[in-house]
Amino acid sequence: MSSARITGYGHGHAQAFSPMRRALTRRTLGRLAGAALLARPDAARAGLVLRVADQKGGAKSLMQAAGVLDGLPYALEWSLFAGAPMLLAALNAGAVDLGQIGDAPLSFAIAGGNRMRVIAAHRSDPGITALVVGRTSSIQTVADLRGRSVATLHGQTGHYLTLAALQRAGLGFDAVRFVFMPPAAAHVALVAGSVDSWASWGPYTAQAELVDGAREIVNGRGLMSGLSYVVASPQAVAGKRTALADFLARLARAQAWSRSHEGAYVSAWAAEIGLPVDVAAAVVARSIAQPAPLDDAVVAAQQRVADFMAESGMLPAPQRVAGAFELGFG
């Protein structure tokens, strides 16, 4: 069996990557990470420890369900984060070695000076991100959103989707009123009717549709890249390259397993998250990913994401993303 421990950072759902996250100092994050290692001194003494940042229902639950963590030549430390901004802050502070993030958070991290390196890319159904309205809403199309409110997280996938959908519909980026709030609050606001719509991803919108009768107005297909990334600290890339490559290979095997054992993965995911199986099935059907070659085509796709984020005002200025990629990592 693998040697692993799981810890948690933060609570609630993280907001966008911003200077406020600087409150997560190197000292604080390092102390938390150090406490996790001291809790397993046997693993630390045994040799190499790979510290993996994760989100609930993420890589850990997938890899455990797929049975790919046996016989590890290193110890694993799993740390749970509420969202990409806090995960990236921990990575930048050296408290973790690697983690997975989406394309919009990656561009924010690059713009914010995060020193992480992109070591792998994955592609999944962009339809996992969607904008929904309440069951009795009169809104039927994106055009109907003009002058209405959209609850979402600033700088995250729902924000990106909404702006991209407005552009495709010929509306200005200021056509809607954004209300930035975490998913739990957005869910309550939508059900109560205090916001007109909600843009989010995966379990949140699926649960709203299946449990509350919310209706989907638009999703990310044709508007979003579907790309997500594994990012690592420069120190881990330099000192733990073999372990990182092994972890990526195991993650790829787990993703292949999930595609051929979707029912088993749905059951495991539902148990991990604590959601009904029908909600889990809807999420898993869209979230199963497969590796994408880390090449110039992926860099170009991410550059298009960054260009749109600058055009729409999500980023303050254009940026070049190529410097963050470790092409041909292995």
Q: What are 17-63's pLDDT values in tens digits?
A: 333 333 344 444 443 343 343 333 344 445 899 999 998 888 999 99
Last residue of a domain, one of 185, 219, 253: 219
Task: Look at residue 316 and tell me if it is in a domain.
Answer: yes
Radius of gyration of the chain (CA): 19
Assign 216 to helix, strand or coil.
strand
DSSP3 helix / strand / coil % (the chain, rounded to 5): 50, 20, 35
* Same domain as 58, residue 130: no
pLDDT at 55: 86
pLDDT at 226: 94
Last residue of a domain, one of 187, 219, 251: 219
Global confidence as pTM:
0.82
Helix (H) or strand (E) holding 131: strand 129-133
Amino acid at the residue 297 = A
Task: Look at residue 329 and tell me if it is in a domain.
Answer: no
* Same domain as 298, residue 233: yes
pLDDT at 46: 53
The whole-angstrom distance between residue 245's C-alpha and the CA centroid of its chain comes to 20
Listed in sequence order, the residues at least 6 apart from 249 whose beta carbon sits closer than 8 Å to its beta carbon are none
* Same domain as 239, residue 201: no
Listed in sequence order, the residues at least 6 apart from 48 whose beta carbon sits closer than 8 Å to its beta carbon are 73, 74, 75, 240, 243
Listed in sequence order, the residues at least 6 apart from 186 whose beta carbon sits closer than 8 Å to its beta carbon are 151, 152, 179, 195, 198, 200, 204
* d(C-alpha 145, C-alpha 87), whole Å: 32
pLDDT at 12: 33
Tell me the two tokens of residue 61. Answer: 């639950």
pLDDT at 330: 63
* Same domain as 108, residue 15: yes
* d(C-alpha 10, C-alpha 240), whole Å: 26
| DSSP assigned state of 155 | T
* Same domain as 283, residue 169: no
| DSSP assigned state of 148 | -
Task: Look at residue 73 and tell me if it is in a domain.
Answer: yes
* Same domain as 116, residue 22: yes
pLDDT at 18: 38
Task: Look at residue 53 and tell me if it is in a domain.
Answer: yes
End-to-end CA distance of the chain: 24
Task: Look at residue 186 and tell me if it is in a domain.
Answer: yes
Indicate which CATH number applies to the domain containing 190.
3.40.190.10
* Same domain as 287, residue 307: yes
* Same domain as 204, residue 135: yes
* Same domain as 245, residue 116: yes
Task: Look at residue 133 and tell me if it is in a domain.
Answer: yes
* d(C-alpha 90, C-alpha 229), whole Å: 16
Asked whether 144 and 201 are in contact (CB, 8 A), the reply is no
pLDDT at 31: 39
Task: Look at residue 137 and tell me if it is in a domain.
Answer: yes
Listed in sequence order, the residues at least 6 apart from 174 whose beta carbon sits closer than 8 Å to its beta carbon are none
Listed in sequence order, the residues at least 6 apart from 41 whose beta carbon sits closer than 8 Å to its beta carbon are none
Query: Alpha helix locations (H) across the chain?
Result: 26-38, 41-46, 59-66, 84-93, 103-111, 157-168, 183-192, 202-212, 234-239, 241-260, 262-273, 277-287, 296-311
Q: What count of Cα atoms within 13 Å lies in the side-chain half-sphere of residue 253?
A: 14
**Structural domain count, the chain:** 2
* Same domain as 251, residue 147: no
- For residue 268, give its domain range: 4-124+226-324
Task: Look at residue 33 and tell me if it is in a domain.
Answer: yes
Distances (CA, A) of 171 to 80, 164, 315: 38, 10, 19
* d(C-alpha 173, C-alpha 312), whole Å: 7
pLDDT at 168: 98
* Same domain as 165, residue 89: no
| DSSP assigned state of 56 | T
* Same domain as 150, residue 109: no
Last residue of a domain, one of 219, 238, 262: 219
Distances (CA, A) of 283 to 12, 105, 229, 299: 20, 20, 19, 27
Q: What is the pLDDT along the chain (330 residues), one digit of tens a residue?
A: 444 544 443 333 333 333 333 334 444 444 334 334 333 334 444 589 999 999 888 899 999 999 999 999 999 999 998 778 889 999 999 999 999 999 999 999 999 899 899 999 999 999 999 999 999 999 999 999 999 999 998 888 999 999 999 999 999 999 999 999 988 899 999 999 999 999 998 888 888 998 899 999 999 999 999 999 999 999 999 999 999 999 999 999 999 999 999 999 999 988 888 888 988 898 888 888 999 999 999 999 999 999 999 999 999 999 999 999 999 886
